[in-house]
Structures are given as structure tokens and as C-alpha cells.
Structure 1
Amino acid sequence: MLRKTILVRSLTLAFGAAAVLPAMAQQAAPAEPVQKVVVTGSLISRADKETASPVQTLSADDLAKTGMTSVAEVLSNLSANGQGTLGTGFAGAFANGASGVSLRGLTVGLTLVLIDGHRMAPYPLSDDGQRQFVDVSSIPFDAVERIEVLKDGASALYGSDAVAGVVNIILKKSFKGFALKTDAGKSQHGGGNNYKVALTGGVGDLESDGYNAFLSAEYRHADAIKVSDRSEYEWANGDWRSRGGINTTRGVPSPANNFLTAASSPFFYNPAGPRLPGGSAADNPANYQFLDTNCNFAKYRAGGCAVDDIWSNIQPESHNLNVLGSFTKKLGNDWTLNLKGSVFKRQSVNNRGWPGTFSASSFLGNTSLVPGQNPQIVNVYGSTLFPAGRQGNNLGAPARLYGYIPGLNASATNDNSSTSTRFAAEVTGAALGWDVTAAIGHAKVKTESEYTGYVNRVALYQALNRATNPFNPLGGNSPEDMAAIQPSFGNTSESKLTFFDFVAQRELMQLQGGPLAMGWGISWKKKEQNAPSPSLLAEGIVGNGAAYVFGKETNTAAFAELNAMPIKDLELVAAARYDHYDTYGNSFTPSAKFKWKAHPMATLRGTFARGFRAPNSAEVGSASSFFSFHAINDPILCADGNPTTRGNVPTACQMTPAFVQVTTKDLEPEKSKSYTLGLVLEPVKNVSATLDYYSIEVKNQINTAAGLPGFVPSYVRNAIFPVEIANGDGTTTSGLPPVGTIAYATSGYVNTGATKTSGVELNLSTKQKFGEYGTGKAELTFNHMISYEIDSNGTKYELAGTHGPSAISGNTGNPKNRAQLVLGWEKGPATITTTFNWVGKFSALDPSIDVNDCANAVDVSSRTYFFGKDTPAAYCTIRSFTSTDLNMTYKVTPNLTLKASILNLFDRQPPIDVATYGNANAMTSYNASLHQAGAIGRFFSIGANYTF
């Protein structure tokens, strides 16, 4: 009998008595033949799947038991997925519609995603216009055999961008027979209905027939979930008055909009009209003329002319059509050929704003971003005041027109269609005593976007001011006018990757403890990115220029790995890689690992690795983009930050300036060092535990200069036109400011600073048989971040458990703790799996942008919830969030299996997050990257799987 140790007692508490039931009473199962596999993060095949590096494996069965229907949903719940993760819930993202993984919180650009161990072309629209990543939302769920997540730096074997780890999505290699899978789901609170159909058919047995061929097709559709579907909840409601703030609902006048805003009915306003005693012109009903009877001054000021949000999405409508074909043939003499071809197509409709409004006092133009030209302010119209008598202005003085432009088809919308095409050929065999794998392939991701809802404001005001038959603010305008004012346009972006890999491995000799094995290889890849800005945006006709990227790079590399067992139970691994990039030069990255089985129940392991990320086309090619992050005060027009100070321009206080990101040609690669030290424990049969410490430091990081402390921008200003200027008594007067308002500033990329993150990850698992009562399983994965420190221009900031670094890696939140607990029960044909996904609490502050006080927490997001007031202390912390998913399957016959799932079983709502900018256009206050399950709410689905 084994003596109960402290560890065993701990496991007993974690998993119940099942963890320590006498497994010795069970009869030993017949020994199975030992099979060797190549685990992600190694070149050498092995029988022991527990490597020196921490690797998490999700089988196809594990994926199915989550109750989810997409790879992106499953990966978003990884405990190692953190700050900078990209989900499909954030429709305003540069890479809208796509989804990426950010292991260890080091952004999607430092996590390498492979398919079948080989590289995939990145999504052509980079995250934040900078970081390249593979869109995991396009990968078919039912074609996946398993997913291996390597939580360790792996540049020594895979090269650039494997700094934080590797996600290797391994597709099915063979299939015989026919399978039909169907799923349908519905949200309890409306919207989001989905259904999926997957068909797979294959012929041939590789062992008996010498070949296998199969074809798999999958179609998935999901309806949109609108903000209006969740308007009864606080996090989806813009009225903050009961919470110490203001009413931010569209169409409601408030101090944040100087009590002048486009409402449900258009109206004229005389800015030079008489002021009421102690008030402003905006308080005097005599200065208003409403153009229809649906609204009047009293109703407007009371918030009765608000505009319902029927456009903004919590989840976009999407369609996925995926086809995968595979042919495997034994060639003789232990050589095998595998050919794979796939087309994965995802279409989503991403709302990026609201229907257009009339420009209040002036239209100062747009900023164009035409490749090969400096940014320019174009299409300036000037004052948009309407003289007395024009357009029915009966106020007797020049007046502004407030309202939504009638007849627009929709809000600003991007109908995004992404097609990922991939062909790969792989041959494996043996030659001259070496096991050999050679692969060649080509992948292309083409994204086609159709834009609607954008407004050509010059055409609009030309039509409004025509002498005859002018544009009518109440609607009923000609199709010709609407086509000119709201043109439809589009563009196509492409990303291509061509690769060749060759790897050989063999055992060189027997040492005292086991074999000395070697693996080596060479690789070549060429990457191209061709992502133009849509023409009307590039030229500044319908808005500020959109991001564009043009560039290519070629990488040639040689690499090797040596695995030795010098004494019994000790495994030593060394690896190194030499890369040559035609864009900057050479990189050398070594790594070393060990695994020591110190006791039959305890194994010690550790790794050291160097890594790098090469500058990409968005950073050193021909590229540009717009971005903004936190609010500032115009140094001239609002120097003291007080919107009521005499002479200040209120709209220049706490404004969010636009920056035009430009490339820098002489950037160096980012470089990293990472360490892990872990313990693998197996105290009793069918109980295992791993505890791994990790530390990753990335130096020479490529960041926008504007995000660094001490950066002094040089602002480009608009022409001088009339604006509201403070009188010093709370009122304003229309006048000419001393300088024009800020249009934009430019910012290049720089190599500066560092990020260092460390933490521990715990994995506990057990599987116990209870005779006639079935078999129970439990697995807990827990990640605790000890530190997340950035060094920016010599200033260090500790950001673990905060919202930072919001200006560098996306404003997605940086919680210290994440965990996932999976409990399963199998008895006969029935299986029940319950998954608990937990995200710990974190702060709304971001010290890296000098937001250290709860009173200023909303400055991180530049929201106006508490305009003119301190943020209440209750909103300084984003509370923890747990979603519970229940999945049940029942095998009716050997061929037919039924399933039912309830996601977010307890209908937990997402916590309020006033610091996030996710879904900013919708004015929701939840974190779409971490708490999307709460926004969707309780979700029911049923499905069936039939095979023969």
C-alpha cells in the first residue's frame, strides 16, 4: 500500500475520493503495442508523450465534449490564452471577423499557429494593422483530429513568432466509411441561432488496401446577436444615470455632447440665438426648429427622442463552408505519400458604426492614406450652417442641422468574406537509416470586403444646398442622390505562403540510459501580403483612409535537435536554428531541455529557449493605418483640461486624437528568452499532476512610438472654422479658434522596451472506474500570472491584474488568473461533461498610460459614462466571471449518437468593464474578449452523429 502524502491528500480535496480509490484492485489491461509519435515542439518521435516542455492536447473527443461548434470558441477558453487575444465579438477590430490566440498574453503576433505541423498563410488584415496571425475561426471543427498546444518558446525548431508558444491544429489523416453530423442551437435571449451540417466520406484501408481517400465538407451558419437583443441588461444599456453617470444613449442630450446631438427627428439649431439667464443657447427652446412632429424641445431634452440601437452587433452573422480532401498512399518500402487540399470559407457581416448623421457646424475633411503619398486632408467642405430660409430654416439666422441622414441602407458595415485555400504534399519514409519527412505546400487567404453605410459628405452637402430640388432631410430622395451620398465599394486583400520542409531523424547509438537520437532539417518559405485600402477610403472620399499593407519576405533556415539519455531516467535535449531573412538578415536561436524521472511518482523537467520575431510587412514594407487609444487635452485649445475655462474649445478637452501609423525600414527583430521549470507527479494510478513555472522576456519590441511615455506628437491641424468656445460661465459661443482642431499625428515604429511575464500553470487529472456506476473523469487547468512587466523608455510598469498594456497589445484586459475544470461521467451509452471556464477579477486601471487612480478608470477606454465626474470605485475592478457548459451524449445504436448542450448553463451575465474599448460603437460595457459567453447568455443546442 502507498503511504498517503501531502500531495495525495491535496488531490483528494481537489477531486474527491475518486482520486485515491485503490486502482490496484482493478485487473491489469492487456499491454498495448508501443507507438511512437512526434509531439509538437520536437523533431524526434517518442513513445512517452510527456515531454520536457508543457504540452496540452485536445483530442477530437475533447473538442466535441465542450458542446461548442468552432475551433475559435474552444481556444478562447484556454487558461494560457491572455492579453491581446482576438475574438470575433469585437466587430471594430482591424482584423474584424477573424479570431487569434495570444498565449501567455504576449499578443497574437507571438503565438505560432500550425496546421499539420506546417505553417499557414496569415490573415491578410493584421491585428491593429501590425500583428500577423492565423485566423482560427476558419478551421473546420469536425476535420480536426487533435490540437496540441505547446506552452513554451519554440523558435529553435519553428523560427519566427513561436516566442510564446505553438498551437498545432492536426487534421484527420484518414477516414473510412461515411459520417453525418448535424447541430442546431438557439440563445435563450434571442439572436444567435445557429446550425451546422458536416459530411465525411472515405474509402480504402491504408494497411490492407494500401491507400485511403476521404472528403469532408462542413457548413455552419450563425445569426447575429444585436445589442437590442440584450438591452434589458446594464452592460448593454447606455443610460448610466442610476449608476452615477450620464445617459450616453444615442439621441439623448447630455453634458458630454453639449446637449446637442442627432436625435430620432432632425432639427435646426441657432448657435448664436439668445441665451437664457444662467444658461446657454442650447437651453433656449426658441433656438430649435424640429422638422417633424415626432419630437419637440421638451421631449428631446427629456431623452424622449433617443435612437434605438438596431444595428450594433454582439455577435456578427456568419457563414462557414469548409471542404477538406485527403489522399494517402503507401508507396512501398515503408514510404507513404499524403496529399491534402482544403478550401475554408468564412463570411461575416461586421457592423463598424452607426448610420451617418449630418455634420453639425463644419466638415473639415477626411485624411487620405494613398500608398506612396503622405497623409493628406482632403474633401474639405467648410461651414455647414444653413442660411435663414434655406432647407426650411425658419429661425431667422444661420442654423445647424442635426439628425440622421434619411434613406441610408444601414450603418457602416463590412461584409467580409475570407477564403483560405491550402494544398500540401507530404512524404514519409526511411532512407540510409534515417526516418524522413518532406513536405511542400502553398496557402492563400483571400479576404473580400464589401462596404456600405459610409457617407460622401461633400456630395451630401452639395445636394443639401442645391438651388433646385435640394436633398430633403426628411427622406424621399432620389436613388441617384442616395447612390452618390452612400456609395457601395469594396476591395480584396490577399496573403500567400509557399513552404518546403525537410526533416530527418534517427537513433545514433545506445547510451547507458537509452538512445541518443538526432533530428535535423531545412525549411524555406516565402510570404506575400497584398492588402490595399478600399479606394474611396484611401482617397478620403467617404472617411479616413483605411489600413493597407504591401510586402513580401523569404526565409531560409537550417535546424537540428539532439536527444540523449546519458543515464537511466534522464533525458537531455538541445536544439538550434539558423534563419536568414531577406528583409533584415540572420538570426540564431538555441534551446535546451531536460526531463529527469527522480522517482516512479515524480518527474522534474525544465527548458531554456531563445526566440525572435522578424519585422513583418506591416512594419517594414509599404503600409499605413489609423489608430487611437486614450484621451488627451489639446495642448493649445484645452491646455488646462477644463472644458469650461474661458477661451477653451470644449470638444478639444479629453479628445481621442487619431494617429497615422507609418513603417520604419531599419527595424531589428524582437528577441526573447524563456524558461520553464516543472514537476510531473503520478502519486497513484490514473492520477496525474503537472506544475510548471514559466518566464518569458521579450526585448527590442516593435511598438508604435505614440504608445511610449514621453512621446511628443507633432499634430496636423484642420483649417480654422467656427467652433463652440467656452465663455467661462458654463456657456459657449460660436467663434474662430486661434488654431484649427487636431486632425491627426503620425507615428513610426521603434525597437524599444521589453515585456517580461512569469507565472505558474497547474494541471490535475484523474480517471477512475466505479464498476456498474460508470467511469468518472476530472481535469483542472489553472494559470496564475505572477508578473507582467513592461519596460518602456526606461520606465517599468507592473500590469498583471490590470487592463494594460492597452496601448500596445489591445485593450482586452490582463487578469492574473484563469482556469478550466472539466468533469465527465460515462456509463454505458451515456456521457455527461460539465466544463467550468473561470476568468479572475482584474483592475480597470492601466499604469502604462498613467491611469493609476480609480477616479480616472474610464480614461483607458475614453468612454463618457461619468462625464465631468470621477469613476465610482465600484467600477474600478472587473469582477471574476464563470461560465458553465453542460454537454450530454447518448449512443442510441453503434451508428447513431445524439447530443444536447447548454452553454452558460447558469446564464451568468458579463461583468461591467468601463475600461474596455471592445464594441465601442455599440456603447456596450462588457469585455468581448474575456466575457463573450456572458453576453450571449444561456445557449441550447442539440445534434446527431450518424456513421456507417
Structure 2
Amino acid sequence: MKLRMKSMPLAIFQIVASGALSMAVAHPAFAQETQAAPQRVVITGSLISRADKEGTSPVQILTAEDLVRTGSTSIAEVLSNLSANGQGALGSGFSGAFANGGAGVSLRGLTVGLTLVLIDGKRMAPYPLSDDAQRQFVDVSNIPFDAVDHIEVLKDGASSIYGSDAIAGVVNIILKKSFKGTALRADAGSSQHGGGTMYKTAITHGFGDLEADGYNLFGSLELRHSEAIKVADRDNYLWAQGDWSARGGINLNRGVPNASNNYLVATSSPFFYTPKGADPVHNPANYQFLDTNCNYAKYMSGGCAIRDTVSFLQPETKNVNALVGFTKKLNEDWQLSVKGSVFQRESENNRGVPPVFSPTSFAGNTSLVPGQNPQIVNVYGPTTFKQGVAGNTLGDGARLYGYIPGVDPANTQKNKATSSRLVANLDGSWNDWELKAAAGFTRVKTDIDYSGYVDRVALYKAFNRATNPFNPLGGNSAADMAAIAPRFSNEATSTLTFADASASHELMQLPGGPMGLAVGVSYMKKKMESPSAALLANGIVGNGAAYVLGEEKNAAAFAQVLAPVLKNLELEASARFDHYDTYGRSFTPKAGFKWKPADIIGLRGTFSKGFRAPNAAENGTAGSFFTFHSVNDPILCADGNPKTKGNVPTACAMSPAFVQLTTKDLAPEKSKSYTFGAIIEPTRYFSSTVDYYRIEVKNQINTASGVPGFVPSYVRNAVFPVDIADGNGGVVQGLPSVGTIAYATSGYVNSGGTTTSGVEFNFKLTGKTADYGNFLADLNFNHMISYVLSSNGVDYELAGTHGPSVISGDTGNPKNRAQLKLGWEKGPLTATTTFNWVGSFSALDPSVEVTDCTKITSISSRTYFFGKDVPLNYCHIPSFMSTDLNLSYKYSKNLTFKASVQNLFDRQPPIDVATYGNANNLTSYNASLHQAGAVGRFFAVGASYQF
């Protein structure tokens, strides 16, 4: 197989290859060294313990020491850098996401909904705010760093063991099981370029020896605070600047008139405008500025611009995490363990969308209320002002532009997510059977406080009352502002209750060892109560937010057989039967083998089926808004020409809102997965694995609006005055023949699919010398061969492109990702350098018919080059690598110091004009792939003390 890695740093491969050869030659006796008998362990994806950690499926293990040596301070950051994490991942840099505040993992690029995240091998309640208001996932942003013992990443389908969602793989986060003594830890860090200052402290205390005392009790508390990084902290860089005029585009900074806003935009001074004459926007007589901060000449030259000082590149976060564990030996054969935790994360999210006066502000909102069809509510009336109202001297029909004084300068959501978990495990043996039982309750609750939103009904009434009308320059009463800009809140909860039991037994002795059998049953109930806030739901403040209400129950039985039929051949088979009360039954089998034709090489492979059950967002009571690609209103712009007499220009090339509704009779998504790989271990100091994977997902649940033949039925606003083309290049205000489009509805259907394939490499080299210390080189490299999306009856090859851009945060789909760790240890000093590399990719997305480099901003709906072709140099998003250096020094047996520099070389993120998954319209970088570049060089120091 020939792979193209033209932008991968060759030095990475040279280091590993030359090191492996030198170590194999210099230490020929390592393979003959006596090793202690390995302890049998149960690896993620299996129910049967084994001596060899390398099974039939590839599993990557990150120990607590590995986590510390990355220099990261959050589990979400560690997981985001996995080479197997790809398209559809969700990070904190996209503050405008449906699931704002949360972070999720997308193995093999198949979205967060097809990657199962477990805690201690058990399911966790999903985040109440679904990705794209559809895909449920476990939020990894509030997993405490110091409570994690290790992480196992299974890069294979595992529905035969775990059931739904485990199509692309499984991330199993294993928390500490016991602790004796006291451990203290403190860390602090800050970005070189401002913002993001972080403080973290943790304490763990435990007592009782399980063997000597028969019990262990421990508790852990972690506090973490990270300040926000604002766009204003980085707007000296091109990727964070809104002025594209020197790059062939237009100036998008706030308060600057340009072609994309028809030269009418809210600015530092409110102003009235009336459309009179042949070229009204360029006639000074049509403007009335309400204070001396701005005038027509200054306005048109961009002199009334407003610097964005509120938008976030990275939100402020606060974490308070508590974990308590108790383990008791009941007798020689039985053990009870109980673990409870409360993980709380607070974040403040905004996209810097300012509350402004606008002629389109009073058209009305769409109400999304659970249990009823969408309704257009609060159609307020004309969008113009009469002579004398609010100080208007231009005459009747004037329009007001400006920022609403006294209102928070951005739509802001303060999100507090609290994850609670209580799980009990009972393990023991009886009559040669190993028995395990567990039961647990998990809940995730989000409390969201909203500010910076405007009640347009109250604003409209305040402007038009006879006495003491609203003043657009400010100085309005507190009662007025409380009514016009109300602060309100909302609560959403997601709960998951489970119970399971399994038994394993050695059936017989085979030539390669004991044949193992495991059987088990499980029950799960999942409930989602995620309404939208009242003022959003009833349409008073903005358009209705997404909501989800519903529950599902699942009962399952499963079994696994592990048969070492020969000394060098191991066979494995497992199967699971699930019953859901929402749709019916699923049966998922899996088979695998591992064969060692020689001591230094092994071959392995698997075949499995998988499924994802439709969730409450898809078949419960739910609704959300999404926008479709631009269309022409079939009535108000039938010929697509905004200058045709009688057409409404804003109805041409518009992106109508769709209200996504649910469908009750959905079938589950189904998959087939194949893996085939090799394990090479010439010495105990060098090992490598190469694994090919192919995953075929069919019957995917998609919006009906994307299916061929779908004809939308538009719901229209009431008829109010709008601008209508006069046929001479100008507009006149009048009443259109019908109201403008408010929305259309679309349900979900099973249609299309995704097939992805690739190769993943791991090379690990260790060396021990008396004079120079110990060395480590560990490379994980993932190359995507193909990523085919089947949609609208057409297959689209999206590997190495920006597609599918409609999923999650439009993350991009690079073919290559790699992570290389180089470590050195001598005496008390340890140094680790981690290279996180993302390959280059194209800005095109064939799945939305964008195959022309000059049109790539249509993917993101950004107006950087409004009315012009995009320069070709923006069609290629270059590769990006951040380098993290971590140093630790063991001062004494109890005290250790550390220091780290993330993004050591201060690499800036490449410009990506095709993504919308970042802070706001002013920035042009990919937050999912290149967030380390936006943060910039980050310094941190820390110390830990244990006694």
C-alpha cells in the first residue's frame, strides 16, 4: 500500500526508524531477558481477562503518567490531540454550537454520536445539549484530570459488548480505584499573548489497605479556573482580523459599511436613514446621526467602527470536581466498591452577536414549544419610524441603525454543567465462575443564564408610547431596560440509570491456554428533559432554541468466547441482543483472530456489526432550527434576480430557516466494521503496530430536507412593508404580494450512509543506558484512505476536504494526523516533547456541491470576499503542528516540580475561510483542529507533594 505523506515532517519518521534500528542492533540480548509473568487484565472491548494487552482489536492506553507528560491540564485537551480523533469532533472553541460548553470525541471522523465514551467501563448520561441538536455525546470537558488513572481508546466497533453508539470505537476513562496517603498538586499557567490564565489545585487523601485492613476509602477534590481568551487579545494577527480589504476582500469590522451590508450597518453612533433617490445609501441627506461621534463622511470611510472586545476565542471556565471511592473486601472471594462523584463546570459562551436596532428586527419570531407545531408570534408592526419618534427629523419612513444602549454587548450564555454519578460494583467468584454486578445512577444537569437578548415586543412598545418614549442614545429607566433586555435562565437534565451482571468461566484447556466464556445481561433507562428557556420558547426573545424531551429503555443479553486454539492462534467471538422500547430489536455479532507465526510478529483482524439507536432528539418530542443552502423565494424572487422590478432583493439567494422536527418510526443506524493489522515486537524495547480499518455506516438518520425530491412547504410571515426592486437598480418600500418566508419544517428519515477507511501506525521505542538515561519515542499516525458520504443518491469522496461541512462545527476532514512523543529521563529529571500534527486539506466540500475554489466561502456563509471570487491561495489549508515541552524534577521522594510550554514555537493557526466553527465572523481559523495556534505559546508551572 502506497501512502502519500508529502507534508508530514520526515524528521519524525527518521528519528523513530533510526532509533529502532540502533536499539535492535545495540541490544540483541533484550529479547532473551527474563520477564515476570504478566498480570491478567480486562481490556476495553472484552469481558474476559487476558495476559497479553494486545488483543484482536487495536487499543491505545494513556496512563496517568502519560497524561501528565503531555503538559495538558484538561482531559478534553488530551483527547482532542488523539491521532484517531477526526472530523465531527466538538471543542470549546466553537462557543456558538448547539452543545455550547461541551466537548466530545469523534473517532475515525464519524461524529461524536458514533463514539461511545465510558467512565470506569460504564455508561454516563449524555450532555443535555445535543451536538447539532441531534447527536448525543458524553461531555469530556468536566472530567477531572487528577482523578483519572488511565484512558483506554478502543479503535474498533464494540456494539457486541456495549450496544448502541460504539460504531467508531470506545473511549474508556478509568478513574482512580483506591488511594492511600495524601497528595497535593498545584498548577498555574498563562498565554504569552494574553488571556487564558489558568490556576488548578487538587488534593487526594485516602486510608486503609485493602489487603491488610480489608478496605480503602479515599476522596479527591480538584479546583480549576481558566480565564477567557478574547478575539481582541489576538486581533493583531491576520486570522483574527475582520479587515480583508488588503487581501482582496472587504472590511467586515463592526460599524464599517460595505457591499455585504448594503452600506447600512450599526455603528458607534445610532442614526436614522431614509431610502430616497436613485442611489439612496450614498446620499448624505438621507442620514441623521444622533450624536457627534459620527457623521456621514466618517461613517462611509470606516471611521465609526467598533472594536470587538467581547467575543471569545476560548471561554472562561471554572471546574469544581469531587470524587469519593470506597472498596471493601467481603471475604477472600468477594469485594464491594462504591464510587460517587460530582463534576461541575461553569463556562461563559458568546459569539459576540450584538443587540442592535435594525429594520429587520421587528418582523416577528418563530415559537418552538414542546408538543405543538411551530408558530409565528409577536409580529410587531412596521419597521420604520414616524417624524418625531425617537428624535427622527428625516420624516415618516425613517429606519434606525445602531447598538441598543444599556444592553449587554453580546448574546451571552453562562452555562453550569453538573455531572453526578453513583456506581456500585460487586465482584467475586463462585464455583470457578468470576462474577460481576454493577448498578448506577448518572445525571448531567445544565443551568444556563441568558443575557444580551432583546424582547422586541417591549422595545417596540417603548419606542411608540406617547410619553417618555425609549431614547436610542441611552439614559432609559431601569424598568425599561429590565423589560427590554431581560435576564432569564433555563435548566436541562439528562439521566441514565443502569444495572448489569456478567459471569466468566474457563471452559476447557486448549493448546494455547484456557478457553474462556463470558455471559451477561444489562438494563438501561435514559431520559432527556431539555426544554428551551421560556422567553426563547414563546418567541419573545429571538427565535426558539432547540429542545428535547423523551426517554428510552433498553434490555440486553450478551456473550463472548475467547479460544486460544493453538499456542500461536487465538480466536474470539461475541454477540449481543438488544431490545429498545422505542423501535424494537438489534443483534450485533463480532469475530476476531490473533495469530503469531513467529515470536516477533503477530497478525490480527476483526469483523463486527454495530448500531446506533435513534435518540429522543430524533424520535421523541424535539425541535430545533437550522439553515439550508441559499434558495430563491419561489414567489418573491422567482427569477433569482434581485434587480427585477417587483422582486424583493432579500428574498433572492436567501438561506431559509428550517424547523427540524422528529419522526417516530425511525430505524437504527447500522454498521459493518473490518480491521486487519500486524504487531511487530523484535525486542522488549521496540514494538510497532499497523492496523487497517474500514467502517460502513448505513441507514443513517438525516433530515428529510436532504433527500432527493423533498419539496419544502414554506410558512410565511405577515405582510409588512419591505424593500422592493424598482427595475432601475434601486428599491422602494412597499407591500409584497405575500409575506416573506419565516421557515419550513423537516422531519428525520433513514437515508444514505458513510464509508471510511484508513491505516493507523504506532511505533514505540524505549532505551535504557547507564550513562545517558532512559529514552522513549512513541509515534501514533493515522492516514485516512477514503471517506465516502452517500447522500442524495450520490457518493461523495470527502477525505482531505472540508466535507461534510454540515456536521458539527464544520471541522474539516484532513487525511493525516499524528502525535509523536519523545521522552528522556535521567535521575530526578524527566523531559517530554510532544508533537501534535494535523495534515493539510482542501477547503472544497463536494457534498454541498462546492467544487470550485473561488466559491469556498459559500460553505461557511462568510462574506470575506463578498461579490468577488475567493483568491485561489485560500483553497488549501496548510498543515499545522504544535510542539509541547514538559519538564519534571523529582526534588525528593515526596516533592516534584514541573514546568511546561505548550505550542513551544508559537505557531499561528492557518487561515481557513471555509469553516464556521469558531468564535465569530471576524475570525478565520479552524477551532477544532488549530485551537492551540489561537491560544499561542502557553507557559505553566506546577508542583506536587505526596506523603
**Same fold by TM-score greater than 0.5:** yes
The residue aligned with 1:202 is: 206
Asked if 1:63 corresponds to 2:62, the answer is no
Distance 2:433 2:179 in 1: 28
Distance 1:815 1:388 in 2: 57
Asked if 1:274 corresponds to 2:277, the answer is yes
Letter in structure 1 aligned against 2:215: Y
Question: Could you report, residue by residue, the CA deviation over 1:384-407 in whole angstroms, capped at 9, with x for unpaired residues?
Answer: 211122221112343111000000
**Structure-2 change in CA distance of 1:733 and 1:14 (3 Å):** farther
Which of 172, 190, 195 is residue 191 of structure 1 equivalent to? Answer: 195
The residue aligned with 1:136 is: 140
The residue aligned with 1:525 is: 524
**Structure-2 change in CA distance of 1:933 and 1:160 (3 Å):** same
Contact 2:93 2:919 in 1 (8 A): no
Instruction: Give RMSD over aligned pairs.
Output: 1.6
How do residues 411-810 of structure 1 correspond to structure 2 at under 5 angstroms?
A: 411-810=410-809
Question: Could you report, residue by residue, the CA deviation over 1:642-696 in whole angstroms, capped at 9, with x for unpaired residues?
Answer: 4444444332333322111100000000110000000111133311110000000
- State the shift of 1:421 in Å: 0.5
How do residues 312-323 of structure 1 correspond to structure 2 at under 5 angstroms?
A: 312-323=311-322
Which of 37, 40, 55 is residue 41 of structure 2 equivalent to? Answer: 37
Asked if 1:97 corresponds to 2:101, the answer is yes
Which of 207, 220, 223 is residue 224 of structure 2 equivalent to? Answer: 220
Question: Could you report, residue by residue, the CA deviation over 1:834-874 in whole angstroms, capped at 9, with x for unpaired residues?
Answer: 11111111111111111111111111111111111111111
The 10-residue stretch of structure 1 (473-482 or 232-241) with the greater mean CA deviation from structure 2: 232-241
Letter in structure 1 aligned against 2:113: G
Contact 1:12 1:20 in 2 (8 A): no
**Structure-2 change in CA distance of 1:768 and 1:141 (3 Å):** same
Question: Could you report, residue by residue, the CA deviation over 1:608-657 in whole angstroms, capped at 9, with x for unpaired residues?
Answer: 00000111111111111111253333333344544444444332333322
Question: Could you report, residue by residue, the CA deviation over 1:367-419 in whole angstroms, capped at 9, with x for unpaired residues?
Answer: 00011111011001121211122221112343111000000034111110011
- State the shift of 1:698 in Å: 0.6
Contact 2:352 2:409 in 1 (8 A): no
Letter in structure 1 aligned against 2:835: F
Aligned residues: 935
What SS class does the counterpart of residue 403 from structure 1 fall into?
Answer: strand
- State the shift of 1:243 in Å: 1.1
- State the shift of 1:912 in Å: 1.0
Distance 1:377 1:12 in 2: 63
The residue aligned with 1:6 is: none
The residue aligned with 1:172 is: 176
- State the shift of 1:708 in Å: 3.8
Distance 1:399 1:947 in 2: 71
Distance 1:434 1:26 in 2: 38
What SS class does the counterpart of residue 108 from structure 2 fall into?
Answer: coil
- State the shift of 1:774 in Å: 0.8
The residue aligned with 2:80 is: 76
Which of 101, 106, 113 is residue 109 of structure 1 equivalent to? Answer: 113
**Structure-2 change in CA distance of 1:417 and 1:14 (3 Å):** farther
- State the shift of 1:21 in Å: 4.4
Letter in structure 1 aligned against 2:238: E
Letter in structure 1 aligned against 2:344: K
Letter in structure 2 aligned against 1:113: V
The residue aligned with 1:4 is: none
Asked if 1:124 corresponds to 2:123, the answer is no
Distance 1:731 1:367 in 2: 31
Letter in structure 2 aligned against 1:224: A
**Structure-2 change in CA distance of 1:675 and 1:730 (3 Å):** same
Contact 1:857 1:871 in 2 (8 A): yes
Contact 2:38 2:52 in 1 (8 A): no
Which of 57, 64, 68 is residue 53 of structure 1 equivalent to? Answer: 57
Question: Could you report, residue by residue, the CA deviation over 1:792-846 in whole angstroms, capped at 9, with x for unpaired residues?
Answer: 1321111111111122454111111111111111111111111111111111111
Contact 1:656 1:862 in 2 (8 A): no
- State the shift of 1:426 in Å: 0.4
Distance 2:284 2:349 in 1: 39
Contact 1:184 1:942 in 2 (8 A): yes
Structure 2 residues without counterparts, runs of 5 or longer: 1-12
Distance 1:319 1:669 in 2: 37
Asked if 1:396 corresponds to 2:400, the answer is no
Distance 1:51 1:26 in 2: 23
The residue aligned with 1:880 is: 879
Distance 2:514 2:389 in 1: 90
Which of 257, 260, 275 is residue 256 of structure 1 equivalent to? Answer: 260
Letter in structure 1 aligned against 2:222: E
Distance 2:493 2:316 in 1: 23
- State the shift of 1:173 in Å: 0.6
Letter in structure 2 aligned against 1:752: S
**Structure-2 change in CA distance of 1:571 and 1:27 (3 Å):** closer
Letter in structure 1 aligned against 2:181: G
Distance 2:395 2:446 in 1: 52
Contact 1:311 1:354 in 2 (8 A): no
Distance 2:450 2:384 in 1: 29
Distance 2:483 2:470 in 1: 12
The residue aligned with 1:246 is: 250
The residue aligned with 1:910 is: 909
Distance 2:925 2:18 in 1: 32
The 10-residue stretch of structure 1 (803-812 or 226-235) with the greater mean CA deviation from structure 2: 803-812
Distance 1:607 1:11 in 2: 32
The residue aligned with 1:5 is: none
Letter in structure 1 aligned against 2:247: R
What SS class does the counterpart of residue 384 from structure 1 fall into?
Answer: coil
- State the shift of 1:464 in Å: 1.1
The residue aligned with 1:335 is: 334
The residue aligned with 2:925 is: 926
Question: Could you report, residue by residue, the CA deviation over 1:220-273 in whole angstroms, capped at 9, with x for unpaired residues?
Answer: 0000111111111111111111111111111111111110011110001011x2
The residue aligned with 2:3 is: none
Distance 1:726 1:938 in 2: 52
Question: Could you report, residue by residue, the CA deviation over 1:469-497 in whole angstroms, capped at 9, with x for unpaired residues?
Answer: 11110001000000000111111111111
Distance 2:878 2:283 in 1: 43
Distance 1:263 1:804 in 2: 36
Identity of aligned residues (%): 67
Distance 1:735 1:770 in 2: 85
- State the shift of 1:321 in Å: 0.3
**Structure-2 change in CA distance of 1:541 and 1:362 (3 Å):** closer
The residue aligned with 1:3 is: none
TM-score (norm 1): 0.97
- State the shift of 1:77 in Å: 0.5
**Structure-2 change in CA distance of 1:21 and 1:618 (3 Å):** same
Contact 1:533 1:546 in 2 (8 A): yes
Letter in structure 2 aligned against 1:87: G
TM-score (norm 2): 0.97
Distance 2:361 2:761 in 1: 59
- State the shift of 1:514 in Å: 1.9
Contact 2:30 2:685 in 1 (8 A): no
Distance 1:199 1:634 in 2: 61
- State the shift of 1:770 in Å: 2.7
Distance 1:687 1:802 in 2: 35
Contact 1:630 1:862 in 2 (8 A): no
What SS class does the counterpart of residue 85 from structure 1 fall into?
Answer: coil
Contact 1:362 1:382 in 2 (8 A): no
Letter in structure 1 aligned against 2:777: A
The residue aligned with 2:167 is: 163
Contact 1:361 1:400 in 2 (8 A): no
Structure 1 residues without counterparts, runs of 5 or longer: 1-8
- State the shift of 1:740 in Å: 2.2
Distance 1:600 1:861 in 2: 53
Distance 1:600 1:12 in 2: 22
What SS class does the counterpart of residue 772 from structure 1 fall into?
Answer: coil
The residue aligned with 1:324 is: 323
